Amino acid sequence: MRPSLFVLAVVLALPLQGRAAYPERPITLIVPFAAGGPTDVVARIVGENMGKTLGQQIVVENVAGAGGTTGTTRAAQATPDGYTIIMGHMGTHGAAPAVYADLKYDPAKSFEPIGMAAGTPILVVAKKSFPAKDFKEFVSYVKANSEKLNEAHAGVGSVSFTTCAFFNSLIGAKPTRVVYRGTGPALNDLVAGQVDYMCDQIVNLVPQIQAGSIRAYAVALPQRSPALPDVPTTKEGGLAEFQVSAWNALFAPKGTPPEALKKLTGALQKALADEGTRKRLLDLGADLSDTKAQTPEGLAKLVDSEVARWNKVLKTVASSKEPAQPPK
Ligand code: MLT
């Protein structure tokens, strides 16, 4: 064997510990929505702690568009070397196949599951001046006036889109559905009173509710959220059928080396066990109780069941026509 080929053969045969240890450089964490939304909030909190464990920064890149499917496609097609991962969610890795016939990825087959980062209860919220004193009145008002109302969401297939499509169909409402590149910008317009209501994941809403900038009418859970003990459940408000919650989870492109995946899952689980990180997430209403889904196997099962669930639900709810643009 020629000396250069011999050296190459020896290098390739080296056990992993003989090569530079992963990660040697910062890791890009794709958030498939605009900054300031729940996916972005969870990604930044969890990513900060994981970066400390991994000894490399986790750099969030917001790649918004098409209800999260633009960024998710980018992640699916990234080089599977452990340096690009994505914070997906119940929309990108659950509902999307039911609403996009031409989806360029498969939530299960195009990714390696790393683990769930947070369960995210759904709230029904409205602009501060919304003329309803409680959830019952809110539902009656929306039913009676829906054609004059604007409902904000983060794009077809997103969590806000999917859960509010479900809500609207339950009460027979047909508002104008206003699309944003994430619920961060949608929330800004809700605070400014430019849109009327939305259904969204709790984690970016809690500070605005506590500050009195928006109104929270109900949480779509069987019990109240410890982060917002004054907000009743949809069941208490007379709409028990509207119970739904979402989740955020980390995925890597299919083919990412097992050593990298092991480190990423380990760092995620360590972050979710860290007291400071847990407190930040719990204070925002995240649910960290599903420890099974914090494993790759548990997350894979969740993805399969969510794809099946939303396929069924979305067949029966409102049409997914692309709606109006945000008011200027
Ligand atoms: C969603 O509706 O899917 C999310 O709230 C979007 C986001 O995280 O901005």
How far from the centroid of its chain's Cα atoms is residue 290's Cα? Answer: 16
pLDDT in tens, 72-104: 999 999 999 999 999 999 999 999 999 999 999
d(CA 35, CA 236): 33
Q: Which of 287, 77, 306, 92 is nearest to 202 (CA)?
A: 287
Ligand 1 pocket test target in 33, 63, 72, 199 with most atoms within 8 Å of CB: 33
Q: Which of 282, 306, 276, 308 is nearest to 119 (CA)?
A: 282
d(CA 115, CA 262): 11
Instruction: Identify the pLDDT of residue 326.
Output: 54
Residue 200 gets which letter from DSSP? E
Q: How much is the average pLDDT of 289-308? A: 97
pLDDT in tens, 127-136: 999 999 999 9
For residue 206, how far is its CA from the centre of ligand 1 (angstroms)?
15
d(CA 304, CA 144): 38
Is the CB–ligand 1 distance for residue 62 below 6 Å?
Answer: no
Residue 103 near residue 69 (C-beta atoms within 8 A): yes
Helix, coil or strand: residue 128: coil
Q: How far is CA 217 from CA 134, 208, 237, in A?
A: 6, 13, 9
Instruction: Identify the pLDDT of residue 291.
Output: 95
For residue 172, how far is its CA from the centre of ligand 1 (angstroms)?
23
Residue 17: pLDDT band with limits 50, 70, 90? very low
Strands 176-179 and 150-153: parallel
Strands 84-89 and 27-31: parallel
Is the CB–ligand 1 distance for residue 41 below 6 Å?
Answer: no
Q: Which of 292, 278, 152, 163 is nearest to 227 (CA)?
A: 278
d(CA 140, CA 173): 10
> 325 vs 266, which has greater pLDDT?
266
Residue 318: pLDDT band with limits 50, 70, 90? very low
Strands 111-127 and 197-201: antiparallel
Is the CB–ligand 1 distance for residue 182 below 6 Å?
Answer: yes
Ligand 1 pocket test target in 41, 70, 89 with most atoms within 8 Å of CB: 89
For residue 68, how far is its CA from the centre of ligand 1 (angstroms)?
8
Is the CB–ligand 1 distance for residue 185 below 6 Å?
Answer: no
Ligand 1 pocket test target in 201, 208, 244, 306 with most atoms within 8 Å of CB: 201
For the CA of 158, the closest atom of ligand 1 is 3
pLDDT in tens, 215-243: 999 999 999 999 999 999 999 999 999 99
Residue 54: pLDDT band with limits 50, 70, 90? very high
Is the CB–ligand 1 distance for residue 91 below 6 Å?
Answer: yes
Q: What DSSP letter does each residue of 225-251 carry, written as one string?
A: -TTSTTSPBTTTTT-TT---EEEEEEE
d(CA 321, CA 328): 21
For residue 187, how far is its CA from the centre of ligand 1 (angstroms)?
10
Is the CB–ligand 1 distance for residue 69 below 6 Å?
Answer: no
For residue 115, how far is its CA from the centre of ligand 1 (angstroms)?
19
Query: To the nearest whole percent, how much of the chain has pLDDT over 70?
Result: 90
d(CA 30, CA 47): 11
Is the CB–ligand 1 distance for residue 151 below 6 Å?
Answer: no
Is the CB–ligand 1 distance for residue 71 below 6 Å?
Answer: no
Instruction: Identify the pLDDT of residue 325.
Output: 52
For residue 158, how far is its CA from the centre of ligand 1 (angstroms)?
6
For residue 82, how far is its CA from the centre of ligand 1 (angstroms)?
25
Is the CB–ligand 1 distance for residue 38 below 6 Å?
Answer: yes
